[in-house]
Amino acid sequence: MRLPARLPRCIASVVLATLATGCGTYKTISTAEAGTAKVMSGTRLDTMAMQGAEPPGGKFKTAPPAHPAIDLPFSFALDVLILPLTIPAVLYEAAFVPKTR
């Protein structure tokens, strides 16, 4: 089965658009502090941006991507890939890092 000639260009355009607007997961994890959202953070930021909702209590220290609907599947994939890192980080923070409020 041959792929249509336009399919590789379409895929490349979507990937480049996502990279140009910034990945929600990368943005939230790179600015993460104690008390900020970490588990599935990019997906949560994208869905809140698409709903027009403000993140509660400053859970994210970054602005959402310019096109969250395009970024959502890529953020979801990256969030799932880094779950083995973010879950232990949140558990450690909950057990050993004192609350700063």
Contact 39, 86 (CB under 8 A): yes
pLDDT for residue 70: 86
Residue 63 lies in a domain: yes
pLDDT for residue 43: 92
CA nearest neighbour of 50 among 17, 32, 75:
75
Residue 10 lies in a domain: no
Overall size of the chain counted in residues: 101
pLDDT for residue 30: 82
DSSP assignment letter at 61: S
Low-confidence ranges of the chain (pLDDT < 70): 1, 3, 14-21, 55-58, 100-101
In the chain, the N- to C-terminal Cα span, in Å, equals 60
Say how many domains are in the chain. Answer: 1
Range of the domain at 88: 24-96
Residue 14 lies in a domain: no
pLDDT for residue 82: 92
